Amino acid sequence: MNHNQIFGKALRQLRREMRLTQEELGFESEISRTHISLLELGQRSPTFDSLLKISTGLKMELSDFLILLAEKIRPQKMEQRVKLKNEYTTPDMTQEHIE
């Protein structure tokens, strides 16, 4: 999963938690519903301008919006780290072999 997909998944989760449709969020943010959809699908990179507009559409400060997104992204990042660790850990690197 790339950065755009991770952002999109977090945005979709946040939007749904706020019980908004893509159309409603787009209207409040002055961004087209299609662009909201492309962001959520990870097919577009969010610009600073779009982040500002979306946070305004959600009626929150940009900093609060980014914090909420980060909270949604962290579990996904942890899953990726565990997966990478498991892929690159050899038996002689396990704790049993270190002790």
CA–CA distance, 99 with 70 (Å, rounded to integer): 36
Q: Which residues of the chain have pLDDT under 70?
A: 75-99
Q: Kindly list the domain boundaries of the chain, sorted by start residue.
A: 3-98
Q: What pLDDT, on a 0 to 100 scale, did the predictor assign at position 71? A: 86
Tokens matching residue 25? 């969020």
CATH of domain 3-98: 1.10.260.40
Q: What pLDDT, on a 0 to 100 scale, did the predictor assign at position 17? A: 93
Q: What pLDDT, on a 0 to 100 scale, did the predictor assign at position 72? A: 84
DSSP states along 43-78:
SSPPPHHHHHHHHHHTTS-HHHHHHHHHHHHHHHHH
pLDDT tens-digit readout, 44-67: 999 999 999 999 999 999 999 999
Q: Enter the pTM of the model.
A: 0.72
